[in-house]
Structure 1
Amino acid sequence: MISKLQKNHNAHRPPFKIKVDQLWNKLWTGGLSNLMDALKQFSFLLFLKRLDEVEDNR
Protein backbone atom coordinates (compact mmCIF):
# COMPACT_ATOMS: atom_id res chain seq x y z
CA MET A 1 0.00 0.00 0.00
CA ILE A 2 1.30 3.45 -0.92
CA SER A 3 1.55 5.91 1.93
CA LYS A 4 0.36 9.50 1.73
CA LEU A 5 3.98 10.67 1.82
CA GLN A 6 4.87 8.49 -1.18
CA LYS A 7 1.91 9.84 -3.16
CA ASN A 8 3.05 13.43 -2.51
CA HIS A 9 6.63 12.56 -3.46
CA ASN A 10 5.50 10.89 -6.70
CA ALA A 11 3.34 13.86 -7.69
CA HIS A 12 6.48 15.88 -8.48
CA ARG A 13 8.29 13.19 -10.47
CA PRO A 14 8.01 12.23 -14.15
CA PRO A 15 5.89 9.11 -14.77
CA PHE A 16 8.79 7.30 -16.45
CA LYS A 17 11.01 7.83 -13.38
CA ILE A 18 8.27 6.43 -11.17
CA LYS A 19 7.99 3.32 -13.36
CA VAL A 20 11.76 2.82 -13.37
CA ASP A 21 11.84 3.10 -9.58
CA GLN A 22 8.99 0.60 -9.25
CA LEU A 23 10.79 -1.85 -11.53
CA TRP A 24 14.04 -1.36 -9.62
CA ASN A 25 12.22 -2.10 -6.35
CA LYS A 26 10.81 -5.32 -7.83
CA LEU A 27 14.24 -6.40 -9.05
CA TRP A 28 15.81 -5.51 -5.69
CA THR A 29 13.24 -7.44 -3.67
CA GLY A 30 13.70 -10.34 -6.08
CA GLY A 31 17.37 -10.51 -5.13
CA LEU A 32 18.94 -8.55 -7.99
CA SER A 33 21.11 -5.99 -6.20
CA ASN A 34 23.98 -5.64 -8.69
CA LEU A 35 23.53 -2.45 -10.73
CA MET A 36 25.04 -3.89 -13.92
CA ASP A 37 22.74 -6.92 -13.79
CA ALA A 38 19.78 -4.61 -13.22
CA LEU A 39 20.77 -2.51 -16.25
CA LYS A 40 20.95 -5.66 -18.37
CA GLN A 41 17.47 -6.63 -17.19
CA PHE A 42 16.12 -3.11 -17.90
CA SER A 43 17.61 -3.18 -21.39
CA PHE A 44 16.19 -6.59 -22.15
CA LEU A 45 12.73 -5.65 -20.85
CA LEU A 46 12.73 -2.49 -22.99
CA PHE A 47 13.81 -4.55 -26.00
CA LEU A 48 10.98 -7.03 -25.42
CA LYS A 49 8.45 -4.22 -25.00
CA ARG A 50 9.57 -2.59 -28.26
CA LEU A 51 9.54 -5.94 -30.08
CA ASP A 52 6.00 -6.56 -28.87
CA GLU A 53 4.91 -3.11 -30.09
CA VAL A 54 6.43 -3.74 -33.53
CA GLU A 55 4.77 -7.15 -33.79
CA ASP A 56 1.39 -5.65 -32.79
CA ASN A 57 1.66 -3.09 -35.60
CA ARG A 58 2.13 -5.73 -38.31
Structure 2
Amino acid sequence: MNGYRIARWRYIFWPLFLGVVVAFVSLIAGVGRGLEALISGVVTAAVVTALMFVFEWSRRR
Protein backbone atom coordinates (compact mmCIF):
# COMPACT_ATOMS: atom_id res chain seq x y z
CA MET A 1 0.00 0.00 0.00
CA ASN A 2 2.83 2.40 0.80
CA GLY A 3 4.42 1.77 -2.60
CA TYR A 4 1.16 2.78 -4.28
CA ARG A 5 1.07 6.01 -2.29
CA ILE A 6 4.65 6.85 -3.32
CA ALA A 7 3.92 6.05 -6.98
CA ARG A 8 0.84 8.26 -6.88
CA TRP A 9 2.90 11.19 -5.55
CA ARG A 10 5.35 10.69 -8.39
CA TYR A 11 2.56 11.19 -10.92
CA ILE A 12 1.50 14.41 -9.20
CA PHE A 13 4.83 15.99 -8.26
CA TRP A 14 7.00 15.64 -11.36
CA PRO A 15 4.51 16.92 -13.97
CA LEU A 16 3.59 19.87 -11.76
CA PHE A 17 7.23 20.64 -11.02
CA LEU A 18 8.23 20.53 -14.69
CA GLY A 19 5.17 22.58 -15.68
CA VAL A 20 6.08 25.30 -13.17
CA VAL A 21 9.70 25.29 -14.36
CA VAL A 22 8.65 25.65 -18.01
CA ALA A 23 6.21 28.45 -17.16
CA PHE A 24 8.84 30.28 -15.10
CA VAL A 25 11.52 29.91 -17.77
CA SER A 26 9.15 31.18 -20.47
CA LEU A 27 8.33 34.20 -18.34
CA ILE A 28 12.02 34.93 -17.71
CA ALA A 29 12.99 34.42 -21.34
CA GLY A 30 10.16 36.66 -22.50
CA VAL A 31 8.73 33.98 -24.79
CA GLY A 32 5.23 34.57 -23.50
CA ARG A 33 3.27 36.78 -21.20
CA GLY A 34 1.34 35.42 -18.23
CA LEU A 35 -1.32 33.40 -20.00
CA GLU A 36 0.99 31.93 -22.64
CA ALA A 37 3.48 30.88 -19.97
CA LEU A 38 0.70 29.29 -17.94
CA ILE A 39 -0.61 27.42 -20.98
CA SER A 40 2.87 26.15 -21.84
CA GLY A 41 3.30 24.94 -18.26
CA VAL A 42 -0.04 23.12 -18.31
CA VAL A 43 0.74 21.52 -21.68
CA THR A 44 4.14 20.41 -20.41
CA ALA A 45 2.56 18.88 -17.30
CA ALA A 46 -0.03 17.04 -19.43
CA VAL A 47 2.61 15.67 -21.80
CA VAL A 48 4.87 14.53 -18.95
CA THR A 49 1.94 12.83 -17.22
CA ALA A 50 0.93 11.05 -20.42
CA LEU A 51 4.51 9.90 -21.04
CA MET A 52 4.80 8.60 -17.47
CA PHE A 53 1.57 6.61 -17.84
CA VAL A 54 2.67 5.17 -21.19
CA PHE A 55 6.06 4.21 -19.77
CA GLU A 56 4.50 2.50 -16.74
CA TRP A 57 1.92 0.73 -18.89
CA SER A 58 4.54 -0.57 -21.32
CA ARG A 59 6.79 -1.66 -18.47
CA ARG A 60 4.03 -3.69 -16.84
CA ARG A 61 3.09 -5.52 -20.04
TM range (shorter): 0.5 to 0.7
Mapping for residues 1-58 of structure 1, pairs under 5 Å: 20=20, 22-23=21-22, 24=24, 26-58=25-57
What amino acid is aligned across from residue 38 of structure 1 in structure 2?
A
Give the 3-state SS of the residue equivalent to 1:40 in structure 2: helix
What amino acid is aligned across from residue 36 of structure 2 in structure 1?
D
Superposed CA offset, 1:23-44 (max 9, x none)? 31x2134432410001110010
Task: Decide which structure has greater helix share.
Answer: 2
Note the residue ranges of structure 1 that are not aligned, 5 or more in a row. 1-15
> Identity percentage over the alignment?
10
Q: How many correspondences in the alignment?
A: 39
Note the residue ranges of structure 2 that are not aligned, 5 or more in a row. 1-13
Give the 3-state SS of the residue equivalent to 2:31 in structure 1: coil
Higher relative contact order (CA 8 A, sep 6+): 2
